[in-house]
Amino acid sequence: MKLILVRHGETEENKRGILQGHLPGKLSPLGLEQTKKLALRLKDEKIDVIYSSDLARASDTAKEIAKFHPNAKLLFVQELREKNQGSLTGKLIKEIDWSKPRDTEKKEAMLERAKKILRDVYKKHKDQTVLFVSHGGLIRVLTTILMNKPIEYRKELEEPMNTGVSIFELMEDNNHKIVLINCGKHLD
């Protein structure tokens, strides 16, 4: 299975330094421009199915891509959501005291959520090209899994850029091939 991972376009909340978590997020003017460029970049890809986070910033990005893929099934799922940030949701990142205990989603829960959607989608679409539209934190977790690394490795990966593209060839034996990681050449 060919898996294309993309992050949503820039949001107003990204610009303001707000921790979004499960907030819907509103694409900024730059974010809208990024999604149009991303859609053009992917227009010649043979995409069979698009899975997107159901949060607006990702679903709006997915809908723009889907315009060039009218035969691709478009599914909005909670499994591709960003980390649930609990009571930190909506706060300015620079004002958060990260040393205090938090009621956020645990990394193990994100890992299980990411493993489950990868397993389920691979079973359904083994010989197809699948696009995931998601969020920076979950894309790092998915990438860590696909690289067969421990969950802590996600912190060593650079943050996925808005509309950054990663491509993997998924193999049954889990020796997945990395084709591309976090590429933003469409934004140049």
Task: Answer with the residue of higher pLDDT: 58 or 99.
Answer: 58
- In the predicted structure, residue 114 carries a pLDDT above the cut 90: yes
Percent of the chain with pLDDT over 70: 100
DSSP codes of every residue in 125-145: -TTSEEEEEE-HHHHHHHHHH
State the DSSP H helix or E strand holding residue 178, giving kind and residue range, or none if neither: strand 177-183
| Distance from C-alpha of 44 to C-alpha of 40, rounded to nearest angstrom | 8
Which tokens go with 155?
A: 């912190």
Q: Is 8 a catalytic residue?
A: yes
Q: Looking at residues 102-128, what average pLDDT do you find?
A: 96
Does the pLDDT of residue 86 top 90, yes or no? yes
Number of other CB atoms surrounding residue 44 within 10 Å = 8
Q: Which of 13, 64, 82, 105 is catalytic?
A: 82
Q: Are the beta carbons of 133 and 58 closer than 8 angstroms?
A: yes
| Domain limits for position 30 | 2-187
- Assign residue 139 the CATH number of its domain: 3.40.50.1240
pLDDT of 165 above 90: yes
pTM for the predicted model, two decimal places: 0.96
Domain count, the chain: 1
| pLDDT of 96 | 95
Which pLDDT score is estimated for 101?
A: 85
Reported as a single tens digit per residue, the pLDDT across 26-68 is: 999 999 999 999 999 999 999 999 999 999 999 999 999 999 9
| Catalytic (active site) residue 108 | no
Position 89 confidence tier, pLDDT thresholds 50, 70, 90: very high
Give yes or no for a contact between 133 and 76, defined as CB atoms under 8 angstroms apart.
Answer: no
